Structure 1
């Protein structure tokens, strides 16, 4: 069965309190999956590093200075993305995640489109980092005009990309 409902992208926090739980669940799935892919799997959120656990348990505080976008299909939160504001006219995209059950429906593209529109309003260059094994994400970023750039992060296997909006 195919779901053809349109994806709605909302800025969080907003007027829809139900998004809070959905955002926490998306962030938990993102961090648990990432730790597993890095070869450091943990069984539950309580075992994540403090900085990641803080995002899940109190996203309002963790992302107080950021723009958080949540993709909805109906009333279900199915994807998220965080845009950090940096200095010198730059923004950084973090935490792009689509619930695996809903992938292939343009959710990540919709989130990125909203993030890029926000950055364009600010006149900002957009950067991001992505693990090299996330080849699908890298291909999506390249389709949207991001290019690999010199790394600003010393973690091995992290690809840094940038796009001028």
Structure 2
């Protein structure tokens, strides 16, 4: 990497720390530094398991303990042994702590809106933020099984359909495809998975069971901000595991040659191209995989 590239990265780091108030002793004017406010937010957002907080925040045990003790002294939270495992500690927000957490959320939303409003290229700015956050949090993306009608799943599917509309020569209408409501992508026939990163959905995939030992992989999508990080492979492998759990022996999928990266991924993961197996008007490539 050239010196000028390193300088660009370090300029970015300095700009971010200044903009978010990382060096201030009173983040958002609430009288606490950013680190303390971040821990308070994490207790409210992720739950109070102290070991889980330490992993989520990547904080040293002693530093986290000191911050939690300070918040407890302020009357913002309580610390107690986990009722199911006395070796673990759990933090719970008090009524005052919950109010402070909500106030931080409100002020943070205002700060975010103010920042983005400065740019004349707001969508490009948001996309750049997504790319950076996805890269930084690559190892903290979780795959969550959910109903394809849940909010995060519907959002992912909407993004997926919009991309197909842009990339297919004649556009895309989900109502012309089979099972537009994804009704067979839930137990006991199938499953649906969404990749989540700190409350933001980054990708999805569906396992559509036929009820006869066969199933299809459907609607694999990964946000442009998270591509190249191995997330599509993780989603596909999670579908393989779910299929095995459901007793499925044969998996099939279809795709369109307008998505060459998809075909390359399937071939890399051991899928074999086969003859057409459905009358869906959009795909022109068909693959199959037998599970052990």
TM-score by length of 1: 0.78
Unaligned runs of 5+ in 2: 1-131
Which of 286, 289, 292 is the aligned partner of 1:160? 286
User: Which position in structure 2 is the counterpart of 1:99?
Assistant: 223
Q: Cα deviations across residues 71-102 of structure 1 (Å, max 9, x unaligned)?
A: 11222110000110014311100000001111
Q: Which residue in the other structure is 1:45 paired with?
A: none
Kindly indicate which of the two structures has a greater share of residues assigned to helix. Answer: 2
Counterparts of 1:25 and 1:87, CA distance in 2: 27
Larger relative contact order (CA 8 Å, sep ≥ 6): 1
User: Which structure's residues are more often strand, by fraction?
Assistant: 1
2:190 & 2:284 partners in 1: Cα distance? 22
Q: Note closer, same or farther for the CA distance 1:49–1:126 as it changes in structure 2 (3 Å cut).
A: closer
Is residue 146 from structure 1 mapped to residue 280 from structure 2 by the alignment?
Answer: no
Q: Partner of 2:207: helix, strand, or coil?
A: strand
For residue 153 of structure 1, report the CA deviation from its aligned partner: 2.6
Structure 1 gap ranges (5+): 43-47
Asked if 2 retains the 8 angstrom alpha-carbon contact of 1:7 and 1:110, the reply is no
Give the alignment's Cα RMSD to 1 decimal. Answer: 2.7
Aligned length: 152
Q: Is 1:80 the counterpart of 2:200 in the alignment?
A: no
Matched, 1:25 2:179: no
Tell me how far apart the structure 2 counterparts of residues 116 and 100 of structure 1 sit (CA, whole Å). Answer: 23
The 1:20–1:138 alpha-carbon spacing in structure 2 relative to 1, beyond 3 Å, is: same
Structure 2 CA distance, aligned partners of 1:157 and 1:41? 12
Pick which of 103-112 and 3-12 moved more: 3-12
Helix, strand or coil at the partner of 1:23 = helix
SS of residue paired to 1:5: helix
